[in-house]
Amino acid sequence: MTNLHHPCLSGLARNPAAPEDVLVRIAAHRAGRHGMARRQEPLPDAVVEALLAHDDGDAFAGLRAERISPAMRRRIDTHPDPAIRDARADFIRHLVERGSTAVLADLEEVYGQPRTALALSPDPKVRAAVAGSWYDRPIDVQTALLADPDPGVRAAATQHKQPGVPPAWRDRCLADPATRANVAWYVPLTWDQFTELMRTGDEDIQRAVAANPHLTADMAVQLLDVDDPLVRVAVGQSRHVDNATRERLYALVEARRADGDIDAKVALSWNFTEPDWMREAPLDERLSYLDSPHTVFRRVLAGSRDLPEEAWRRLDNDPELSVRRTAARRPDAPPDVLERLVRAHGDVFHQRPLLVEHPNFPRQTLRTFVDEPTPNVRYVALQDPELPVPALQGLAAAEEPFLRRGVARHPNVTDALLDRLLSDPDPNVADDAAANPALRPARMHRILTEAAL
């Protein structure tokens, strides 16, 4: 019981199929309590009682009210130990104090007030937290936040395009040092507002202005000589510059990148800006960028849905992978295009829906991906929920831990494979194996016995 990082106990505590008696026993171990805090399913009262008997408050910091019964919420709220009683509230208040993102429902739960009242809290950090998490707040709440005496609250209220800044408030927000750079990104600017912003000479403000989608042609001209790679790329993506000007701006930035300039590298490599105006442009205008030497224009074009067949053929064979992946997300992408793309490069698992989830993807081919030489492509085979056991066995023997983790999470994994993966040298593999709902209760109890629980 001295091992605070027991991976099997942490994973077992997250296992949605773990019976109540297993969870009660596992609450005696810190690693189990850590896993329990990450568990998504509601906790039976007996399990909460076990946590109360063993925990010093860590598990309760992440335990949201909807996961426990009203009776247990009352037990926690009246517990004599403040480390337990106040664990959840202290955690959320710590997030608020640091200015970190908090879930709006959590703020309401901890502070015991509806969001409308919290927006008027005497604590400016609470008001800022509400402004940063209540994205669809009504206009009267937004104007109150824009008028807030605390600059941190005003900055939080203008951080995102929504709910926006009413026209009557634009001058005030553009003159306010706390909100100026935020608002300059997205509100329509008058010539006088544009001129005042550029007069500040502030690098962040100039970059925000350059990326503003509402700039006029006259404004774009004024930005042409700003010696900042991020500004130059943003202006180069404007609909108001001709091809010759665009190429000149990009060439200047390319030269800076070749000299090792980090801002130039960021400007050319990151999605700092995109020519979003292309999405609404007439088809003929969009198609004129099919041969653009700049990836971002072809990638935005590939997000269209109305291109002719020849354009799709070109985009499906574009030299840049990001362009090909964007084109493959169109509703009528051919099965062979989808399969070829995924077989060559795998899928992007942080971007949903996956390409293998596309209605046209030939899912019957998924299991054949286990024979591909590239590990991240072999991983795609695990998207087949009925992947045969021999294929799973082969992937479980892979050198790459992420492949073994995929097997550990797979619904078709066998008892023998799970048993092997529970002893994997990589703790993340063992954790995922213990969290698999296919794990039998008898094996769960063996894990507890081996941990002397």
The reported pTM is 0.87
Rounded to an integer, what distance in angstroms lies between the CA atom of residue 84 and that of residue 91? 11
Give the CA dihedral 203, 207, 208, 211, nearest 10 degrees: 170
pLDDT at 69: 94
The distance of Cα 185 from the centroid of its chain, to the nearest Å, equals 21
Could you check whether the bond before residue 353 is cis, i.e. omega within 30 degrees of 0? yes
Which residue in 322, 231, 223 sits closest to 272, CA to CA? Answer: 231
- Going from the C-alpha of 96 to that of each of 91, 108, 144, the distances in angstroms are 9, 12, 20
pLDDT tens figures, 167-198:
999 999 999 999 999 999 999 999 999 999 99
pLDDT of 124 strictly over 80 = yes
Task: Say which residues have a Cβ less than 8 Å from residue 256's Cβ, sequence separation at least 6.
Answer: 229, 263, 264
Rounded to an integer, what distance in angstroms lies between the CA atom of residue 165 and that of residue 158? 7
Could you check whether the bond before residue 138 is cis, i.e. omega within 30 degrees of 0? no
pLDDT at 416: 96
pLDDT above 70 covers a percentage of the chain that reads 99
pLDDT at 448: 95
Rounded to an integer, what distance in angstroms lies between the CA atom of residue 195 and that of residue 104? 38
- Residue pair 201/226 in contact (Cβ under 8 Å)? The answer is no
pLDDT tens figures, 80-122:
999 999 999 999 999 999 998 889 999 998 999 999 999 999 9
Radius of gyration of the chain from its Cα atoms, rounded to whole angstroms: 27
Q: 338 phi and psi, to 5 degrees?
A: -65, -45
H/E/C letters for each residue in the chain? CCCCCCHHHHHHHHCCCCCHHHHHHHCCCHHHHHHHHCCCCCCCHHHHHHHHHHCCCHHHHCCCHHHCCHHHHHHHHCCCCHHHHCHHHHHHHHHHHHCCCCCHHHHHHHHCCCHHHHCCCCCHHHHHHHHHHCCCCCHHHHHHHHCCCCHHHHHHHCCCCCCCCCHHHHHHHHHCCCCHHHHHCCCCCCHHHHHHHHHCCCHHHHHHHHHCCCCCHHHHHHCCCCCCHHHHHHHHCCCCCCHHHHHHHHHHHHHHHHCCCHHHHHHHHCCCCCCHHHHHCCHHHHHCCCCCCCHHHHHHHHCCCCCCHHHHHHHHCCCCHHHHHHHCCCCCCCHHHHHHHHHHHCCCCCCCCCHHHCCCCCHHHHHHHHHCCCHHHHHHHHHCCCCCHHHHHHHHCCCCHHHHHHHHHCCCCCHHHHHHHCCCCCHHHHHHHHCCCCCCHHHHHHHHHHCCC
pLDDT at 3: 40
**pLDDT bracket for residue 1 (50, 70, 90):** very low
pLDDT of 368 strictly over 60 = yes
pLDDT of 239 strictly over 50 = yes
User: Using alpha carbons only, what angle is made at residue 75 by residues 74 and 80, rounded to the nearest 5 degrees?
Assistant: 120
- Residue pair 147/168 in contact (Cβ under 8 Å)? The answer is no
pLDDT of 299 strictly over 90 = yes
pLDDT at 5: 65
pLDDT at 243: 94
Rounded to an integer, what distance in angstroms lies between the CA atom of residue 402 and that of residue 376? 9
The token duo for 373 is 């030489």
pLDDT of 309 strictly over 50 = yes
Q: Tell me what the mean pLDDT of segment 379-400 comes to.
A: 97
Q: Tell me what the mean pLDDT of segment 222-247 comes to.
A: 95
pLDDT of 333 strictly over 70 = yes
| Mean pLDDT taken over the chain | 94
Q: Tell me what the mean pLDDT of segment 17-24 comes to.
A: 96
**pLDDT bracket for residue 134 (50, 70, 90):** very high
- Residue pair 253/264 in contact (Cβ under 8 Å)? The answer is yes
pLDDT of 2 strictly over 50 = no
pLDDT at 305: 96
Give 297-301's long-range contacts (Cβ < 8 A, gap of 24+): 297/237, 298/323, 299/274, 299/323, 299/326, 300/274, 300/275, 300/276
pLDDT at 4: 52
Rounded to an integer, what distance in angstroms lies between the CA atom of residue 417 and that of residue 395? 11
The letter for the amino acid at 2 is T
User: Using alpha carbons only, what angle is made at residue 429 by residues 425 and 433, rounded to the nearest 5 degrees?
Assistant: 120
pLDDT tens figures, 52-83:
998 778 888 888 888 899 999 999 989 999 99
